[in-house]
A and B are shown apart, each in its own frame.
Chain A
Amino acid sequence: MKISLNQLKNYVEINVPVEELCDRMVMAGFEVESIEREGDNIKNVVAARITELTPHEDSDHLQICRMDIGSGKTVQIVTGAQNIKKGDLVPAALDDSYLPNGAHIKAGKLRGVDSLGMLCSGEELCLTEEDYEGAGVYGILILRDEWETGTDMRTVLGLDDYIIDFKITANRPDCNCFLGVAKEISVVLGTKFNPPVPSYKTVGGDIKDFIDVTVENYDLCPRYVGRIVRNLRIKPSPVWMQKAITASGMRPINNIVDITNFVMLETGQPMHAFNYDDLAGKQIIVRNARQGEKITTLDGKDYNLTCDMLVIADGEKPSCLAGIMGGKESEIEDDTKNLFLESAKFRRDNIRHTGRSLGIRTESSGRFEKGVDIINTAFAMERALQLIDELDAGDIIEGSIDRNLGLPEDRILTVTTKSILELLGVEIPDETIVSILNSLGLSTVYDNGTVTVKVPSIRDDIEGRADLAEEVMRIYGYDHIVGTAMRGDVVRGKKLPSRIKDDKVKSAMLAMGAYEIATYSFIASGAIDTLRLDAEDERRNAVKLINPLGDEYSTLRTQLTTSMLTVLATNINRKIEEGRFFEISKRFVPKALPLTEQPDELATMSIGIYGKDEDFFTLKGIIEEVMKLFGAHTQYKRSAEPYLHPGRQATVLANNKPVAVFGEVHPAVASQYDIETKIYVAEIKLDVLYTIEKRKTVYKALPKFPATQRDFAMLCDIDIPVGDLESAIISGASRLLEKVELFDVYTGSQIPEGKKSVAFSVWLRSAEATLTDEQIDATCARIIEKLTKVGAELRK
């Protein structure tokens, strides 16, 4: 809320500089967004005296002025104006100066003669005759001879006001107005608060003879106050009122409209002025709109109304969208004769709904949404009438309409000062607490440590001791809060098992040279299509955002691979030659669609690698290391993911449960990400992997006896997986096996068509003794037997 400092001074004594005022208000809970000095748009313009005036040789109208600009300095300025004479004091915009119209004045030459600035007219300084005598004259503004040369023009013009933009928190709607802020300032500075005391004269008559007001829905309109003013004398409002309105960002229109806006800014209570003569049937009915009713608002727009919207209707039709905007038809115009003035309280959620669904937000609706005080409604009306009287804007008819179902009583809170201080942890004397509460307009009765507080409806944010504690503390000063150590046992906090496991996986990934990435949880609706999944694939059942920022961020991801592909693409397209990346995040799996309950959020890791040294098997190596962390018994099966190379992909089974899929990305998928090179991705279901309980690590004795190595070279059909041969060796060697290693796979010359040569090294060792030749031979025979069973024959 922007407020003129001079306006605030009408209500409260401000005895500190503006910066200090703002600092202290911040510490009382009123953040200051900006402080703007009036005249900030005038820079480097000074009062200067003409000491010499000579005609320009090459011009019939230009004059060369020697200007005394103070501090013993003079400059030469060329002007075309004719209303000046030697000795005049005038505004001079010096080199590199700014005028309120935005003009930037620099030194230059006029027809070959140096001019180090410009003399200003009243108009160039955005002044009217009302601001400064002579400002309306055509020519240079001649200043009253009461200033030293060199005096800043802002001082000369009395531009000493500041516009302060206070950020009002949602719990303090009462401070969205001059009086609310002024009241707080009076408490903060400890100075007197002088709110206006409304009084006015009427011309008699009886409002009942003029208007009939009915409230049909007290739920949406708990209070409706109305008055009649006749014989309007519409004209511009006075400068002081226009200034106050402009400072707060509104536009002056005429005295009646300005009074309603000014009163809203001053008291926080929006008002509405109806052209009385346009009200059909001389009736005001506060009611729900009828389905299909229409209204044309002040700004000329048409709206179709629904029956949940509240309107102020006359005898025939809606005349105003309650609390939001008036109707065009009953608008106050220059020739309006008679006025029906409204001050009401509308329910905030209803105003909010109507405003949202029609897409209208006004100063008025904003205040109703935040909440206005039901008591203040009548005060605002009184204040408006006082201004109408003072400005002689019309004749006030005797009598007031005030429709309500009873007004609330003050809330009574009884608390002990001890209970307030217990929350704060500071010592504050009881009398200080009581006096702070009183100064805030919360009247108190104190009895031996117990305070009974009467909370007026305008402060209905105060509900209990916590609120009172805050009120006391923000005035007493938060700098009194001194850090203390919490009581309680000294313990180190624990992490959830899932976080501990995440940490374990992450450190393994880092050790394997992978960089952790972070990507958004939502993806484009079409991203899943890039994976070429079947129509029935469950990963297509994704949760959609109702109000996304755009399609790009519209869908909660059911897999992490598309995000990984995007990251790989970013890096590849930026000519980064190689990379290993991983992300641990959640995949969102709905239990049903449309969504009726929270989806499952399942911990998932994606891995993406590329570069000249990377292939299927380097990725397999990474996955194997991850599996080892959990002591999982791992198997690899061919898989059939449509986004992976059909011959280069696998499902990983950990203890017989599928936990991961990995492989080379299908070129048809990669190309959709503009990727031409080979890339490899994996997706690991950490939620499943984490269910595997790793057995406790127990030390195994180091071998005492030597190992024996034997090589097995064999021939087998080309399509027998080496994994089968390895399994055969493992089972043949049984418990004597220490290690088996594939060292050669070969096809080509010397090898029969359809066959391949495969060679393994096998290490045998016993923990109990050095193996004898007999033991070794027997074991080798068993290995060969098993190999034969899977279709391999030993090469001779």
Chain B
Amino acid sequence: MKEQLNGILETAKASILAADSEQSIEELRVKYLGKKGELTALLKQMGSLSPEERPKMGQLVNEAKAQVEALITDKAKELKEKATELKLKEETIDITMPAKAVKRGKLHPLNTVLNDMIDIFQSMGFDVVDGPEVETDHYNFECLNVPADHPARDMQDTFYLAENLLLRTQTSAAQIRTMETRKPPIRVICPGRVFRADEVDATHSPVFHQIEGLVVDKGITLCDLKGVLEQFAHEIYGSDTKVKFRPSFFPFTEPSVEVDVSCSECGGKGCRVCKGAGWIEILGAGMVHPNVLRSCGIDPEVYSGFAFGIGLDRLTTTRYKISDIRLLFENDKRFLEQF
């Protein structure tokens, strides 16, 4: 019987070792350890043994069972791993195949840039306000120190809707509405659409967008204006950007300045983008004209303030190097996808 056991054990070991599939190992499990398995059968023959041999033999068979069991489990595990490996290998894909598109839209580039600007100015404490696009002559011109027949009206060709009503030529009109409804300290920006009778071409559009900024408080200075615009320029053009003021004229500010920033393309050395100047003109600004403050019921002897107007369309076309402003209003999907 012992020989028989050894014989079974040897055959079992060999067949387990040779097993090459999860199925064959399962068959071996049944063959040796199953209810009708060879080792189980051996146990059943124990009755023919002497009572002295019985426990000995029983122990031997049980040990053999445990050994076979362990071998089968290990082999089964090994085969399972192999099978998994094989399956995964078969599942290999070409990772350069196209992605399954997730459809997501994009903001219009003008508004992407506008949102950046709003973030910058909001973080500096500017509220974001709104004004009507159809304005009265009063708000668009009179209150901004541009009386009828003032030569400054020639600077802006205006679309009229009725004798006294027009499409606003500047978001500055919103300055007045703000100063009429809020008391200093005032810190607002007013982004919006403006209109001028410019024929459409690569750099002109009768519809464009401005962001007007206004600060009114006690002790506001021209240096504060520069401070705010420097922060803005650093955020938009990079932290090493320099800001330069040049004297200019706007009827609603005094002193008035044109604001240049060092060209971010060449760092001020002069290039094609800045037409060799090293500087790019980005906006007009100045200290709010005393007449403007007065017309809004704010005493210019007590309060001072500054205002600036940024052209959003120019900022957008420069940022993305868009060669033709008309593209902004054409809305070709292949254009809109790029931003």
CB-based contact A495/B128 at 8 Å: yes
| Contact residues in A for B22 (Cβ distance below 8 Å) | none
Interchain CA distance A721-B226 in the complex, whole Å? 65
Q: How far is the CA of A491 from the CA of B185 in the complex (A)?
A: 12
B103 / chain A contacts, CB cutoff of 8 Å? 512-513, 580
Q: Given that A424-B222, A470-B255, A516-B108 are contacting pairs, would A598 and B132 also be in contact in the complex, using a CB cutoff of 8 Å?
A: yes
Minimum C-beta distance from B335 to chain A (A): 9
Given A473-B247, A510-B104, A598-B135; A493-B223 close (CB under 8 Å): no
Q: Within 8 Å CB of A512, what residues of B?
A: 103, 105
Q: Does residue A646 face the partner (Cβ distance < 8 Å to B)? A: no
CA distance A778 to B61 in the complex (A): 65
Indicate whether A645 reaches chain B with its CB closer than 8 angstroms.
Answer: no
User: Known contacts A425-B223, A495-B128: does B133 contact A172 (CB below 8 Å)?
Assistant: no
Q: Please state if A481 and B329 are interface contacts (CB–CB under 8 Å).
A: no
B107 touches A484 (CB 8 A): no
B219 near A493: Cβ-Cβ < 8 Å: no
Looking at the assembled complex, report how far the CB atom of A570 sits from the nearest CB atom of chain B, in whole angstroms: 6
B128 touches A499 (CB 8 A): yes
Q: Total number of A-B contacts with CB less than 8 angstroms?
A: 250
Binds A, one of B24-32, B49-57, B74-82, B153-161: B153-161
Specify which chain B residues have a CB less than 8 angstroms from the CB of A466 in the assembled complex: 254-255, 287, 289-290, 300
A27-B118 Cα distance, complex, nearest whole Å: 31
**Nearest A residue (CB) for B215:** A486
A568 nearest in chain B by CB position: B331
Report if A535 contacts B (CB, 8 A).
no
In the complex, whether A756 has a CB less than 8 A from a CB of chain B is no
User: Is residue A423 within 8 Å, beta carbon to beta carbon, of the partner chain?
Assistant: yes
Q: How many B residues face the partner with a CB closer than 8 A? A: 89
Given contacts A26-B246, A170-B152, A519-B331, contact A486 B217 (CB under 8 A): yes
B73 at the interface (CB under 8 A from A): no
Closest residue of B by beta carbon distance from A593: B162
Most buried by B among A31, A466, A489: A466
Pairwise interchain contact B107-A517, C-beta atoms closer than 8 A: no
Residues in A neighbouring B199, C-beta threshold 8 A: 549
Q: Which of B105, B106, B245 has the most CB atoms of chain A within a 10 A radius of its CB?
A: B105
Q: Of the candidates A422, A478, A546, A549, which one forms a contact with B219 in the assembled complex, judged by CB atoms under 8 Å apart?
A: A422
Does A301 touch B at the CB level, under 8 Å? no
Q: Is the CB of A515 within 8 A of B125?
A: no
The complex places the Cα of A496 from the Cα of B104 at a distance, in Å, of 27
Interface presence of A586 (CB below 8 A): yes
Min CB distance B189 to A, Å, is: 8
A170:B155 contact, CB within 8 angstroms: yes
- Could you say which residues of chain A place their CB within 8 Å of the CB of B245? 478-479, 481
Contact among B125, B130, B151, B222 for A499, CB-based, below 8 A: B130
Closest residue of A by beta carbon distance from B220: A486
Judge whether B266 is part of the interface by a CB distance below 8 angstroms.
Answer: no
Q: A29-B248, A425-B222, A486-B217 are in contact. Are A570 and B332 (CB under 8 A)?
A: yes
Contact A595 B165 (CB under 8 A): yes
Contacts of A579 in B (CB 8 A): 333
Binds A, one of B5-13, B87-95, B227-235: B227-235
- Is A518 touching B328 in the complex (CB atoms < 8 A)? yes
Chain B residues, CB < 8 A from A371: 151
Q: Assuming A424-B223, A478-B245, A601-B134, is B162 touching A594 (CB within 8 A)?
A: yes
Are A516 and B193 in contact (CB-based, < 8 A)? no
Q: How far is the CA of A493 from the CA of B182 in the complex (A)?
A: 14
Whether A515 touches B336, Cβ cut-off 8 Å, given contacts A423-B304, A496-B129, is: yes
- Known contacts A492-B125, A544-B161, A595-B165, A549 near B197 by CB under 8 Å: yes
Closest residue of B by beta carbon distance from A421: B221
CB of B332 within 8 A of CB of A493, answer no
Determine whether A194 belongs to the interface, using a CB cutoff of 8 Å to chain B.
no
A494 near B: Cβ within 8 Å?
yes
Could you tell me which A residues sit within 8 Å of B by CB distance? 26-29, 31, 169-173, 348-349, 352-353, 369-371, 422-426, 464-467, 469-470, 473-474, 478-479, 481-496, 498-499, 506, 509-522, 543-549, 553, 556, 567, 570-571, 574, 576, 579-582, 586, 588, 594-599, 601
Question: A426-B223, A549-B206 provided; 5 other pairs, C-beta below 8 A?
Answer: A353-B149, A486-B187, A574-B332, A580-B105, A588-B134
List the 3 closest A-B pairs by CB distance, nearest first. Answer: A425-B221, A513-B103, A425-B223
